């Protein structure tokens, strides 16, 4: 027990890593009070073992107000590497509120010899990289940036998303299948074969939960259009929830030793 007062932590989540960290925080609840925040993009997020909230804060200003109102002493940005806005807001808000920020993110996937990757800067470039010939394309990019593929209507798209689409995506030839990771590489290989997929478009999310499709593409010799990560926030990112937990405990101990 660290001196009697529980340190207060806010974790910005929506990722497997954030959920893993939440499980570690739940085990340390005697010393640390923590809250996990979801944006609300997924209809039914898997409930964590710590308290959680859903929805935006209202920009940097809203996040600073939340941090102050809830007397948060440490902020953890464990959002997805492509959640650029939230990460920027977290960096600015932690500086304004005068509390430390820990960034927890997955290391990117690395190309191996034999991988047929085309690396592009954004979704528009990904659509162009599919080429003029009609192809069967597997899209695992979430729902928000599908509009970029309207510029390439010659292809037939198989889209995988956590929730069903309502309204359906505005793509001439597409089919949506539901799926929430982690996925297995044998099942991914079967899906790619059954659907006669010729190209895959993905973000470089990193981590294990979505890696199976990369392994399956490697085995089948399928080309992958890889959309590069946005520039990360400043500071060193941690990659392991256990490492983030060790930093959180060290900070709690430092506060307790100062009698804060
Ligand atoms: P974004 O563009 O960086 O954020 C847009 C706005 O959504 C933020 O300004 C914030 O609204 C709100 N928001 C984002 N993450 C939040 C969180 N954890 N808690 C509360 N509000 C949050 O984010 P995004 O790319 O749409 O991603 C949304 C969520 O989905 C994130 O939690 C992310 O971890 C998860 N996710 C994203 C991807 C991806 O490819 N982008 C993939 C898997 C999971 P306010 O300004 O009002 O605070």
Q: How many angstroms is it from 87 CA to the middle of ligand 1?
A: 8
Please list the alpha-helical segments (H only) found in the chain.
Answer: 16-27, 59-69, 84-97, 123-129, 185-194, 212-220, 241-257
Q: Is 11 in the pocket of ligand 1 (CB under 6 A)?
A: no
Q: Is 37 in the pocket of ligand 1 (CB under 6 A)?
A: yes
Mean per-residue pLDDT for 158-163?
A: 92
State how far the Cα of 142 lies from the Cα of 179, in Å rounded to an integer. 11
State how far the Cα of 127 lies from the Cα of 153, in Å rounded to an integer. 10
Q: How confident is the model at residue 223 (pLDDT cuts 50, 70, 90)?
A: very high
Mean per-residue pLDDT for 55-62?
A: 98
Q: What is the DSSP string of 148-190?
A: GGGG-TTSEEEEEESS--SSPPS-SSEEEEE--S---HHHHHH
Per-residue pLDDT tens over the stretch 98-110: 999 999 999 999 9
- Of ligand 1's listed atoms, the one at least distance from the Cα of 42 is 30
Identify the pLDDT of residue 53. 97
Q: Is 22 in the pocket of ligand 1 (CB under 6 A)?
A: no
Q: How confident is the model at residue 255 (pLDDT cuts 50, 70, 90)?
A: very high
Q: Is 88 in the pocket of ligand 1 (CB under 6 A)?
A: no
Identify the pLDDT of residue 8. 98
CA torsion, points 185, 190, 192, 193, in degrees to nearest 10?
140
Q: Three-state SS string across 9-34, please?
A: EEEECCCHHHHHHHHHHHHCCCCEEE
Mean pLDDT of the chain: 94
Q: Is 41 in the pocket of ligand 1 (CB under 6 A)?
A: yes
Say yes or no to pLDDT of 152 above 60: yes
Identify the pLDDT of residue 233. 61
Percent of the chain with pLDDT over 70: 98
| 37, 61, 83, best to mutate for ligand 1 pocket (most atoms within 8 Å of CB) | 83
Identify the pLDDT of residue 220. 97
Mean per-residue pLDDT for 128-142?
A: 97
237 vs 74: which has the higher pLDDT: 74
Identify the pLDDT of residue 2. 63
Mean per-residue pLDDT for 123-132?
A: 98
Q: How confident is the model at residue 259 (pLDDT cuts 50, 70, 90)?
A: confident
Mean per-residue pLDDT for 194-218?
A: 95
Identify the pLDDT of residue 208. 85
Q: How many angstroms is it from 86 CA to the middle of ligand 1?
A: 6
Q: Which two tokens stand for residue 32?
A: 């640390």
Mean per-residue pLDDT for 140-147?
A: 92
Q: Is 61 in the pocket of ligand 1 (CB under 6 A)?
A: no
Q: How many CB atoms lie within 10 A of CB 138?
A: 24
Q: How confident is the model at residue 115 (pLDDT cuts 50, 70, 90)?
A: very high
């Amino acid at each position: 027990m660290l001196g009697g007062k529980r340190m207060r932590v806010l974790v910005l989540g929506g990722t497997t890593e954030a959920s893993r960290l939440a499980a570690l925080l739940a085990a340390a609840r005697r010393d640390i009070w923590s809250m996990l925040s979801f944006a609300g993009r997924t209809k039914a997020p898997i409930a964590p073992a710590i308290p959680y909230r859903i929805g935006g804060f209202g920009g940097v200003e809203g996040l600073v107000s939340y941090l102050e109102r809830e007397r948060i002493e440490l902020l953890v940005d464990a959002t997805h590497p492509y959640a650029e806005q939230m990460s920027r807001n977290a960096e600015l808000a932690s500086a304004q509120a005068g509390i430390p920020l820990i960034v927890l993110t997955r290391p990117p996937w690395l190309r191996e010899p034999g991988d047929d990757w085309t690396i592009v800067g954004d979704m528009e470039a990904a659509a162009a990289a599919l080429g003029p010939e009609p192809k069967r394309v597997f899209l695992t990019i979430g729902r928000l940036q599908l509009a970029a593929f309207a510029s390439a209507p010659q292809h037939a798209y198989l889209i995988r998303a956590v929730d069903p689409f309502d309204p359906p995506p505005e793509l001439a030839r597409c089919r949506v299948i539901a799926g929430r990771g982690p996925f297995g590489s044998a099942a991914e290989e079967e899906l790619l074969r059954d659907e006669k997929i010729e190209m895959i478009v993905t973000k470089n999310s990193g981590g294990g939960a979505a890696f199976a499709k990369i392994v399956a593409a490697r085995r089948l010799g399928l080309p992958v259009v890889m959309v590069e990560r946005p520039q990360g926030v400043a500071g060193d990112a941690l990659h392991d929830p256990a490492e983030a937990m060790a930093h959180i405990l060290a900070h709690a101990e430092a506060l307790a030793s100062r009698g804060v």
